[in-house]
Amino acid sequence: MAVDAFAASNSIGSRSLRFCGLRREVLGFKSLSSTRLVASSPQRHLKKVSASLSENGTSSKGFDYDLVIIGAGVGGHGAALHAVEEGLKTAIIEGDVVGGTCVNRGCVPSKALLAASGRMRELQNEHHMKAFGLQVAAAGYDRQGVADHANNLASKIRSNLTNSMKALGVDILTGFGTILGPQKVKVGSTDKFDGKTVITSDHALKLEFVPDWIAIIGSGYIGLEFSDVYTALGSEVTFVEALDQLMPGFDPEIGKLAQRVLINPRKIDYHTGVFASKITPAKDGKPVTIELIDAKTKEPKDTLEVDAALIATGRAPFTKGLGLENINVETQRGFVPVDECMRVIDANGNLVPHLYCIGDANGKMMLAHAASAQGISVVEQVCGKDHVLNHLSIPAACFTHPEISMVGLTEPQAREKAEKEGFEISIAKTSFKANTKALAENEGEGLAKLIYRPDSGEILGVHIFGLHAADLIHEASNAIAMGTRIQDIKFAVHAHPTLSEVLDELFKAAKVKVSVSSPVGEPVAV
């Protein structure tokens, strides 16, 4: 009898498969020569399979694997490692390169560009340097050197992920995974595309050129980070945002402060409440033209002429070609419908046996670390353990200078929930201007905001704008994940002087109506 199979899908991006995973019984591999595994070129794919080590477990009788994952992105990688740890014989199918979008075209190379451009911005800030008593000659940069830094980092992380799976004996199959029916999969080939003056973030990360003026369509995480990169390297930026305000996904108070620091002082202008109805690439010496229409009335508003346009409206799930129609699964706006346990739901509302979907393809939270957490959660279920992931405990970050981070609900979301469920919320805030380490770094611009229930001490959301906000958020996200109440966490001790004291002061500023719920453990004499 085969161990339950796992199908998880975390696909993002353009035309290659990302982070999709299928549990093995879902694919039901009887043997590599069996008709249950249909590959376009079995011998070719077999050559790409890494050797299975003893650490990778032994599959159930009649099957080659206990678990097969389609997509070797961060979600698939996390699931594969946890599966081997749990004793499941595991294989992973990747249609492009190991690491998926995050490592190759997203989180990893973008952070390398932000690191380089952030240093450039700091060196160019004469007032900032002068405050430290430092004098810096005219700062410059080598475009190709910056691009190489991003590419080299992606290559290194990709290699690390590949080696970590091979070391545990995870079999890596190269090809595009398609479900043919219950417990059947085909491995085929893939294709790609490219862009020049009208680009996506995939192309922008190559930094093939730095335009004098670039329009960025969308002012969310991706657009905001690239505005940080391009302005630091000398570009002028114009945002085109369909909604009535910039940074619509952020807590409004944090977004307002971020706009004052990250947008208003920089060479950035913006158009809100408009769609880019038509974008014409540059050609024969003519610039890129962008026709803007009113987002509500659809009436023409303006026409922009720029050197380049970056489409940063977010990534769409890539679920075409997965063969979902063969198992009666209909996507919703491209997303695979799942329940709270990531189990796939078919067109009739029934659970598809042994099939799970994780990551961007299910649309719950399009973040690499969320995909990994979902994959681990599914493996737990495959192994017979009850596990439901609390998505409100998953943090997110925008790596601008300074950074923005968040976990849980925004203030409007919390107020809506409170009104619906009949409880009160309170807000606590602390400023980076009161933090010694931030002042020592001459980075006092920042705010931390706590949204909580004063009757129980439950943390509903935390939002941070300031130096290293992306690192600071995890104390709050872990507290939400573990169910820790404010009346308990406020007694935690933080080293001085550190930025972590921003969170310490934030929790201490909260006014909870109940006393300490319970001690964490007996005090230890030292």
Say whether pLDDT at 44 is over 70: no
Domain region containing 214: 201-311
* 129 annotated as a binding-site residue: no
As a 3-state breakdown, the chain gives helix, strand, coil percent values, each rounded to 5, of 35, 25, 40
Same domain, 220 and 293: yes
Residue 18 lies in a domain: no
Among 389, 407, 440, give the residue marking a domain's end.
389
284, 331: one domain:
no
State the DSSP string of 363-406. TS---HHHHHHHHHHHHHHHTT------GGG--EEE-SSSEEEE
Residues 303 and 213 in one domain: yes
Tell me, what's the pLDDT at 104? 84
308-342 pLDDT per residue, tens? 999 998 778 878 888 899 999 999 989 999 999 99
360 is in an annotated binding site: yes
How many angstroms separate the CA atoms of 393 and 502, rounded?
19
Tell me whether residue 117 is exposed, middle or buried, using C-beta atoms within 10 angstroms of its C-beta: 0 to 12, 13 to 18, 19 or more.
Answer: buried
Identify the domain boundary among 255, 284, 311.
Answer: 311
Instruction: Determine which of 100-104, 184-188, 190-194, 306-310 has the lowest per-residue pLDDT on average.
Output: 190-194
To the question of whether residue 221 is assigned a binding role by annotation, the answer is: yes
Q: Which residues contact 139 (CB under 8 A, 6 or more apart)?
A: 120, 123, 124
Whether 222 has a binding-site annotation, put simply, is yes
Supply the mean pLDDT for the chain.
84
Is 281 in the same domain as 354? Answer: no
Residues 6+ apart with CB under 8 A from 250: 258, 398, 404, 406, 410, 463
**Any domain includes 11:** no
| Spatial contact of 361 and 19, defined as CB atoms under 8 Å apart | yes
Confirm or deny that 218 is annotated as ligand binding. yes
Together in a domain, 305 and 341 = no
Residues 162 and 213 in one domain: no
**17 lies in a domain?**
no
Residue with tokens 């600071």: 472
Q: Is residue 10 part of a domain?
A: no
Number of domains in the chain: 4
Domain containing 167 — which CATH number? 3.50.50.60
Residue 128 maps to a domain? yes
Residue 422 has pLDDT above 50, yes or no: yes
Q: Over 70: is that where the pLDDT of 47 sits?
A: no
Residue 65 annotated as lining a ligand binding site: no
Identify the pLDDT of residue 404: 98
Of 389, 417, 443, the domain-final residue = 389
Both 74 and 166 in one domain: the answer is: yes
**In a shared domain, residues 399 and 451:** yes
- Could you tell me if 205 and 283 lie in one domain? yes
Higher pLDDT, 69 or 273: 273
**Considering the domain boundaries, does residue 496 fall inside one?**
yes
Helices (H), 190-236: 201-204, 221-232
Q: Are residues 248 and 343 in the same domain?
A: no
Q: Is the predicted pLDDT of residue 298 greater than 60, yes or no?
A: yes
Measured over the CA atoms of residue 295, residue 296, residue 299 and residue 301, the dihedral's sign is negative
How far from chain centre, in Å, is Cα 205? 16
What's the half-sphere exposure (Cβ side, CA atoms, 13 Å) at 326? 16
Cis link prior to 497 (omega < 30° from 0)? Answer: yes
Quick check: is 76 in a domain? yes
Q: Do 303 and 352 lie in a common domain? A: no
Question: Which residues are catalytic, by number?
Answer: 496
Three-point CA angle 22, 23, 28, nearest 5° = 100
Indicate whether 365 belongs to any domain. Answer: yes
- pLDDT tens, residue by residue, 221-264: 999 999 999 999 999 999 999 999 999 999 999 999 999 999 99
Q: Which CATH number goes with the domain that contains 461?
A: 3.30.390.30
363 with 273, same domain: the answer is no
